[in-house]
Amino acid sequence: MNEKTAIQVFGDIKALFHDNKLDDALEMAELALQLFPDEAEGHYLCAEIYRQKGINNDQILGYLSRAYELDSHRIEYIGRLAERCFMEGKLDLAISYYQEILSREPVVWGYIGLGNALEMKGEFNVAALYFQRAVDLNPNRSDALLARLEKIRLKQLNTLIVIDEYKKLISDHLDEGQLFDITKLIALLYAGICETTEAAYFYQKVAELYESLLADYGVENPQIIHPGITQSTREGQYGCIRSVNEEGIRGWFFDMAAEPDAPVALDIFLDNKKLGTVVTDTVDTYVSAIYGVPVRCEFSLKWSDVCLDGQFDFHDKTIKHLLTCQVSGTDQYLLVMADPVTLELLEEWSKYGFIDMSGHISDRYESTAVTDTAEGEEDESVVEPVAGLIADYVVTKIIELDDSLKYQYEKIKDGFDISYYLTKYPEVRKEQVDPIAHYLTVGAAKGFDPNLEFESKYYLDNNHDVKDSGVNPFYHYIVSGRYEGRVYKPFAAAERKTLGTLQTLESRAKHWLSRDRNPLVGKSILSLLLDKFLTDSTSIVLSVSHDNAMSGVGGIQLAIQQELELFNAEGYLYIHLYPKQPLPILDLSETSRTFYYGMSLNGTWVGFVSSDCLVEVFSDYSANYSGDKEWLMLVHSLLGCNVDSLLALHSAFKFNQAYLWLHDYFMICPQYTLLRNDITYCNAPKIDKAGCEICVYHDDRVKHLAQFEILFGTIPFSLIAPSAVAAQIFVDKTTLPYKNVVVSPHRYLEKTLLPVPKAKKHPEIRVAYLGQLVGHKGWFEFEKLAETFGTSGKYKFYVFGVTNPEVKHITHLSVHVSNTDPDAMITALKDNAIDVVVLGSKWPETFCFTAHEALVSGAALVAHKDSGNVVALIQQYECGQIYDNIQQLVAMFSGGAVDQLLEASKAYTYTLKPGVMSACVLENVN
Amino acid sequence: MSDVHVYTSCNYYYLDRAKVLATSLKRHNPNYTFWLLLTDYPDDVYSHDWSAEPFDKVFWSTDLPVQNVNQWMFKHDVVELCTAVKGPFLEYLLAQGCEKVIYLDPDIAVFDSLGSIERLLDTYSIVLTPHQLEPESKHEVFAIQDNELCSSLHGVFNLGFVAVKNNKQGNQFATWWSDRLQAFCFDEKDKGIFVDQKLCDLAPCYFSELYILRDYGCNVASWNLGHRKIKITDEGTILVKNDTLKFYHFTKLGPIGDIMTERYAKDNVEVYELWAWYKRKVIEFKDERLPKTWYYGYYANGEKVTNEARILYRHRKDLQNYFTDPYSTEKDGGYYQWFLVNA
């Protein structure tokens, strides 16, 4: 032995150890220790052998400590040491060793070990955090860990203790992202217990960190002025009002659960009095390790859009006014400016023509905020109204114009919209000056516009010769530019904005990936649950959709809820699955990854379950089952689903029949409304056509169709469409193999001839737009309609929906259809005696609940020619008019078409009957 | 099936665009051979794997059969040189026996088969596309300036496209064009020269077998958008008036291109869709590893060749005779040093 080197000796010991000759190994190891007392490996091997022998020998810890002391680089030495400390109850030591390990390498076992030690110490919250990291690092073996996490959460102590634990973490070696997450958690927790000062402090930190994170990505941001605190509320929404300056009020907020592309409307309040509403656009998303993908929006309320009308009292100079912000139509979210509104701030606002609107301004403010006119002089200084000025506006202050400007004044005055100018720029109204003179001397330089159409800044930016010459842009346009064909406003602005923000669905999906912390159901629990429901003869429906349909209120969700009742009544077990990770596309990840579904049984949410587990359990069941049963697969939506996992399920379940609903056109293109570049209905050309190629979703479509070919090639689907229109489009456009297509509407309309025609309640014709204010639903045409006929007296215009468009001549009424109030839209339309509903969808609606609701409420329809099932309804029931473009739409309202339509519709009433949608499946089965 | 060769000419800076051109061409015309004529230098830092690129063949302009090629190159700025090389390379391809040759600018993208052009070369020897196909209205002063007067100044035909048959007159055209480009390919509009383009106003007079292609789907660009409404049919075909869009010239990618496009496309959303697609594709092909400067814009000592130095050298025979390689700074600092001291 003496001749052998340490390495050889230890090799021999390991060989004995692996052959389980533990006594021999121990003898040799103890001898080796004497020969090579300074070799760490010897000490480590002794410890390993004792451990393997199951001897709880105090020496083990000694051996391991010595091994670590001699060679602190080997991670397995310190790992064993940490583990041993934990086993011997030396928790603080164990924790410090695990921290040491993790500072070198973020290993799953390290996080688990640390989590165990912390849990043992009662530090549940921090333990949970480390277990979460272990799960994040290795999601494939997360079942047990997630269950553990949930258990720990139940043990969590009160919020302040939890906050303390998070605070302790801040001293760790965290990267910026982790620090951001933890700080945000602390802020949220403080806000949750109404510790607003503390919350504000941490939100300030969050905001700073966010700026810093953005800066890392090259995004420059102005300095934060005011932090915000969340006073309510739903976890996951927060933000702040960050600046009040000459443009208006600006801020930002996160929504952890928002759809990245959906605009969010925010109401901004001062002392609970509404200043206005802003609609925000997503500006970016930030991938958080803990929360997944929050959507970040920025908002800005311009002073010109603020409506106060004397409702504020500013006499209290010490001020406790609160500037707050709330998601429109909800009460669950509130942002508050943390700093009280100071006197200085109010003075600052006064500069922007803000507080002068109050009409209750204290002495101090009056002197600064109103006009320079000294008292007593006012009456004398009243000048006669400028020709053409609006009736209630009196000019008190003269702007001197030289001859050149007087000449320009004469040239532009016919094209100048004084009413528009005074409405858009309230500071001009406040100054009580001639608006045209104001535009010529001050306004144009500030980028003010002389009317709705002409954009001063745009004109100068795009006509450098005019800009360089210093000529007033509108004057130039009137006397010269218009004859030269110069462009004075951006063309196709909305569409170009859309084009500028397009992203492939696959890249959008990356922002959706999150790591939630919900429990997984394993095989044993799933089997137990199923045993409760299943007998040898139970028939099963396995339904798949994109989200937890049992808690949703959308069309698909309601359809699934109906279906559940129907199948339960027939004695079926209704299993509903949806992808745990929601996505705007199919799950296209590599096949080896475990796929997880959310699951409910007969409407009761069970938890998350892996596809492998489902396959295993149901393979067993189907092997043992008798033949006297029906197993049906019913796919409502494939968003977020994984084709491989569906095929595996299909194979395990041994379905008698598989059905797939055509609620939208996802089977043809993942842009399931078939809007090319989110703008124009594309008619689903073949993928090799240039018209498809230039669409941002072309590559997504190619990938999806490849997946669908596999899916449809294996499962012989029968397809169910909610309308003949949807069925026809699918049949015409698909290249996929399928069994057959049936049409089964969600609802039927019943048209009844009234004994006496309906009497009209209002002299004017009431015209409404329903839902989201988006271009592809015809919002811009409706806006134009209201702009054209808003002052005619013949028509009144309404918007029913969540978002207030804040547009002249349009009345907004907030409507929120929900589970508890499914008829909210019908009621609102009836209550307001709406005569006509304009449905301007530019893509073929597959069903359109809204059109049905409108008809039941008694309104007639005016619809775009491409609106699919809406056009079909109009043709079937003769209940509306169809237009192709804005010119036709305007002509309908200026001519007699709408009057005729209303005359005809007076004679009929409509009722809604439930469709046989799911029954069509049962009929086939039976 | 004819033997069709398509080439484009650029330096590294336009390589992303050339890739969009190559991929879009091959997508709709998979049997054509695509040549990249590169006027830049195989950089040491960036050694390019050309086999991974969408070009069938890459040709370096220093390999062109031009006498004293360095001296010739020096006289040109980047636009002039990348244009000047088009002529000698056309001659080269014809000499190689290529049956039909089409040149396309690197900022063009192809959206359909070019079969109709290929067939035209069965009847004609040269095909050119005019900038304009319709006169402007007398009230559209801006359009007259932007389009008609601008075309008069820069050339009636847009030489972002030319197609040539390898026959007698095709070769005569190639020789004439190449000769002129080797001597006069400059941007000197006051002298009636505008790179390779203005000269070609004479081509219909010289060559009886030249065909003026009046296809609205060819060479669509901001200069003719005012008369070319674009729409996309239900079947996914992109139409310009009633012609299928064959190739679009995405000239001046950036704010200027946007302004000019907007001025004439107005509410024609499909034009903006084409641009959005093009911008996405250019970004997709962008290669940050490429050199950011043009090799032939610098002396051997790394100093930039100024316009003044270039133009002086262009016009002074004595300097050309003395400094046979004007890039070189070896002998007494070369032309670089001479210009510093004497000019």
The β-bridge partners of B248 are: B109, B220
Using the beta-carbon criterion (under 8 Å), do A691 and B238 form an inter-chain contact? yes
Q: CB-CB: which of B139, B233, B267 is closest to A483? A: B139
Tell me, yes or no, whether A772 and A635 share the same domain: no
Please name which of A808, A818, A803, A856 lies closest in space to residue A834, comparing C-alpha atoms.
Answer: A856
**Cα-to-chain-centroid distance, residue A417:** 39
Averaged pLDDT of chain A: 77
Q: So what's the pLDDT on residue A193? A: 54
Strands (E), chain B: 4-10, 33-38, 57-60, 100-104, 108-110, 126-130, 157-165, 187-188, 193-194, 210-212, 218-220, 230-232, 238-240, 243-244, 247-249
pLDDT tens-digit profile of A59-93? 888 888 888 888 888 888 888 889 888 887 888 88
A486 has a chain B CB within 8 A of its CB: yes
Cα first-last separation, chain A:
83
DSSP H or E stretch at residue A788:
helix A779-789
Q: So what's the pLDDT on residue A757? A: 80
Please name which of A10, A59, A60 lies closest in space to residue A31, comparing C-alpha atoms.
Answer: A10
CA distances from B50 to A110, A135, A353, B103, B110 (A): 47, 43, 63, 20, 22
Please name which of A418, A613, A438 lies closest in space to residue A525, comparing C-alpha atoms.
Answer: A613
Q: So what's the pLDDT on residue A221? A: 39
Lowest pLDDT segment from A71-85, A291-305, A330-344, A743-757? A330-344
Tell me, yes or no, whether A139 and A249 share the same domain: no
Ordered DSSP codes for A898-920: HHHHHHHHTTEEEEEEE--TTHH
Alpha helix stretches (DSSP H) within A654-778:
690-693, 698-714, 724-733
Segment B166-188 mean pLDDT: 95
* pLDDT over 90, % of chain B: 76
pLDDT level of residue A619 (50, 70, 90 thresholds): confident
- Domain end marker among B285, B312, B327: B285
Q: CB-CB: which of A691, A695, A696 is closest to B233? A: A691
Lowest pLDDT segment from A210-214, A525-529, A755-759? A210-214
CB A915 within 8 A of CB A746: yes
Tokens of A51: 């451990």
Residue A637 lies in a domain: yes
Give residue A478's domain range.
Answer: 378-484
Q: What angle do CA A565, A570, A571 make, to 5 degrees?
A: 95
The DSSP secondary-structure symbol of A884 reads: S
Tell me, yes or no, whether B75 and B205 share the same domain: yes
Residue A800 lies in a domain: yes
Using the beta-carbon criterion (under 8 Å), do A683 and B276 form an inter-chain contact? no
Lowest pLDDT segment from A85-89, A332-336, A437-441, A905-909? A332-336
Query: What are the backbone dihedrals phi and psi of residue A139, each rounded to the nearest 5 degrees, phi first?
Result: -65, -20
Using the beta-carbon criterion (under 8 Å), do A686 and B259 form an inter-chain contact? no
Residue B43 lies in a domain: yes
In this predicted structure, the answer to whether residue A641 has a pLDDT above a threshold of 90 is yes
Q: How many CB pairs under 8 A join A and B?
A: 89
Tokens of A349: 């606002």
Residue A442 lies in a domain: yes
Give residue B303's domain range.
Answer: 298-342
Checking DSSP bridges between strand A237-244 and strand A323-327, what pairing results, if any? unpaired
The DSSP secondary-structure symbol of A481 reads: G
In this predicted structure, the answer to whether residue A169 has a pLDDT above a threshold of 80 is no
Tell me, yes or no, whether B146 and B252 share the same domain: yes
Q: How many domains does chain A have?
A: 5
Tell me, yes or no, whether B201 and B320 share the same domain: no
pLDDT level of residue A521 (50, 70, 90 thresholds): confident
Residue B336 lies in a domain: yes
Segment B40-65 mean pLDDT: 83
Q: Which of the listed ranges A35-44, A110-119, A571-580 does the model predict with the highest average pLDDT?
A: A571-580
Using the beta-carbon criterion (under 8 Å), do B276 and A499 form an inter-chain contact? yes
Does residue A741 sit in helix, strand or coil? Answer: strand
Using the beta-carbon criterion (under 8 Å), do B259 and A462 form an inter-chain contact? yes
Q: Which residue has the higher pLDDT, A41 or A282?
A: A41
The B residues from 215 to 274 touching A (CB cutoff 8 Å) are 232-238, 245, 259, 262-263, 265-270, 272-274
The β-bridge partners of A837 are: A768, A861
B192-205: b (≥16 Cβ within 10 Å) or e: ebbbbbbbbbebee
Domain of B269, CATH number, reads: 3.90.550.10
Q: CB-CB: which of A486, A491, A679 is closest to B267? A: A491
Q: What residues of chain A lie within 8 A of the CB of B259, using their CB?
A: 462
CB B131 within 8 A of CB B158: yes
Cα(A513)–Cα(A526) distance, rounded to whole angstroms? Answer: 26
In this predicted structure, the answer to whether residue B270 has a pLDDT above a threshold of 90 is yes
pLDDT tens-digit profile of B196-241? 999 999 999 999 999 999 999 999 999 999 899 999 999 999 999 9
Tell me, yes or no, whether B311 and B166 share the same domain: no
Q: What residues of chain A lie within 8 A of the CB of B262, using their CB?
A: 462, 487, 490-491
**Amino acid making up residue A23:** D
ipTM: 0.92
Residue B293 lies in a domain: no
Tokens of A489: 């406003």
Using the beta-carbon criterion (under 8 Å), do A462 and B268 form an inter-chain contact? no
pLDDT tens-digit profile of A833-864? 999 999 999 999 999 989 999 999 999 999 99
Using the beta-carbon criterion (under 8 Å), do B274 and A694 form an inter-chain contact? yes
pLDDT level of residue B303 (50, 70, 90 thresholds): very high
A490 has a chain B CB within 8 A of its CB: yes
Ordered DSSP codes for A186-202: HHHHHHHTT-HHHHHHH
The structure tokens 């991670």 sit at A75
Residue A499 lies in a domain: no
Using the beta-carbon criterion (under 8 Å), do B141 and A483 form an inter-chain contact? yes
CB B109 within 8 A of CB B278: yes
Cα first-last separation, chain B:
57
Task: Give the nearest chain A residue to B231 (CA atoms).
Answer: A691
Ordered DSSP codes for B74-139: HTS-HHHHHHHTHHHHHHHHHHTT-SEEEEE-TTEEE-S--HHHHHHHHH-SEEEEES-SSPPPTT
**Cα-to-chain-centroid distance, residue A628:** 45
Tell me, yes or no, whether A547 and A663 share the same domain: yes
Q: Which of the listed ranges A204-213, A586-595, A611-620 does the model predict with the highest average pLDDT?
A: A611-620
Q: So what's the pLDDT on residue A17? A: 83
CB A859 within 8 A of CB A835: yes
Cα(A247)–Cα(A299) distance, rounded to whole angstroms? Answer: 12
Tell me, yes or no, whether B196 and B322 share the same domain: no
Residue B311 lies in a domain: yes
- Domain end marker among A163, A183, A203: A183
Residue A506 lies in a domain: no
Cα(B5)–Cα(B36) distance, rounded to whole angstroms? Answer: 11
Checking DSSP bridges between strand A295-302 and strand A273-285, what pairing results, if any? antiparallel
Q: So what's the pLDDT on residue A767? A: 96
Residue B200 lies in a domain: yes
Segment A883-892 mean pLDDT: 88
Q: Which of B112, B273, B278 to mutate to test the interface with A (most CBs of A within 10 A)?
A: B273
Please name which of A207, A212, A248, A213 lies closest in space to residue A226, comparing C-alpha atoms.
Answer: A207
Q: What residues of chain A lie within 8 A of the CB of B280, using their CB?
A: 502, 696
In this predicted structure, the answer to whether residue A233 has a pLDDT above a threshold of 50 is no
pLDDT tens-digit profile of B85-133? 999 999 999 999 999 999 999 999 999 999 999 999 999 999 999 999 9
pLDDT tens-digit profile of A400-446? 888 889 889 988 988 888 877 876 677 888 888 899 999 999 999 99
Q: Which of the listed ranges A285-289, A395-399, A576-580 does the model predict with the highest average pLDDT?
A: A576-580
The β-bridge partners of B162 are: B103, B128
Task: Give the nearest chain B residue to A687 (CA atoms).
Answer: B236
Tell me, yes or no, whether A738 and A767 share the same domain: no
pLDDT level of residue A288 (50, 70, 90 thresholds): very low
Tell me, yes or no, whether B237 and B115 share the same domain: yes
Tell me, yes or no, whether B201 and B223 share the same domain: yes
**Cα-to-chain-centroid distance, residue A202:** 24
Cα(A463)–Cα(A530) distance, rounded to whole angstroms? Answer: 73
Tell me, yes or no, whether A524 and A657 share the same domain: yes
Q: CB-CB: which of B142, B259, B269 is closest to A495? A: B269
Q: How many CB atoms lie within 10 A of CB A142?
A: 23
CB A512 within 8 A of CB A584: yes
pLDDT level of residue A547 (50, 70, 90 thresholds): confident
Residue B290 lies in a domain: no
Lowest pLDDT segment from A380-384, A587-591, A599-603? A380-384
**Amino acid making up residue A252:** W
Q: How many CB atoms lie within 10 A of CB A757?
A: 13
A694 has a chain B CB within 8 A of its CB: yes
Tell me, yes or no, whether A600 and A724 share the same domain: yes
Tell me, yes or no, whether A538 and A470 share the same domain: no
B143 has a chain A CB within 8 A of its CB: yes
Q: So what's the pLDDT on residue A24? A: 87
Q: Which residue has the higher pLDDT, A600 or B5?
A: B5
CA distances from B178 to A1, A136, A159, B65 (A): 87, 64, 82, 11
Tell me, yes or no, whether B200 and B325 share the same domain: no
In this predicted structure, the answer to whether residue B63 has a pLDDT above a threshold of 70 is yes
Q: How many helices (H) and strands (E) in chain B? A: 14, 15
Tell me, yes or no, whether A253 and A331 share the same domain: yes
Distance from CA of B49 to the nearest CA of A (A): 25
Tell me, yes or no, whether B205 and B326 share the same domain: no
DSSP H or E stretch at residue A540:
strand A539-544
Using the beta-carbon criterion (under 8 Å), do B236 and A483 form an inter-chain contact? no
Q: How many domains does chain B have?
A: 2
Tell me, yes or no, whether B121 and B236 share the same domain: yes
Distance from CA of B185 to the nearest CA of A (A): 30
Cα(B290)–Cα(B288) distance, rounded to whole angstroms? Answer: 5
- CB burial class (10 A; 0-12, 13-18, 19+) of residue A756? exposed
Ordered DSSP codes for A285-322: E--BTTTB--EEEEEEEEGGG---TT------TT----
Segment A697-712 mean pLDDT: 96
Tell me, yes or no, whether A590 and A641 share the same domain: yes
* pLDDT over 90, % of chain A: 24
Tell me, yes or no, whether A200 and A172 share the same domain: no
Tell me, yes or no, whether B52 and B180 share the same domain: yes
Tell me, yes or no, whether B272 and B334 share the same domain: no
Q: Which residue has the higher pLDDT, A633 or A173?
A: A633
Q: How many CB atoms lie within 10 A of CB B317?
A: 7
In this predicted structure, the answer to whether residue A468 has a pLDDT above a threshold of 50 is yes
Ordered DSSP codes for B141-157: HHHIIIIIIHHHHH-SE
Ordered DSSP codes for A401-462: --HHHHHHHHHHGGG--HHHHHHH-HHHHHHTB-HHHHIIIIIGGGT--SSSS--HHHHHHH
Please name which of A254, A261, A257, A263 lies closest in space to residue A286, comparing C-alpha atoms.
Answer: A254
Torsion angle of alpha carbons A32, A33, A34, A36, nearest 10°? Answer: 80
Q: So what's the pLDDT on residue A104? A: 80
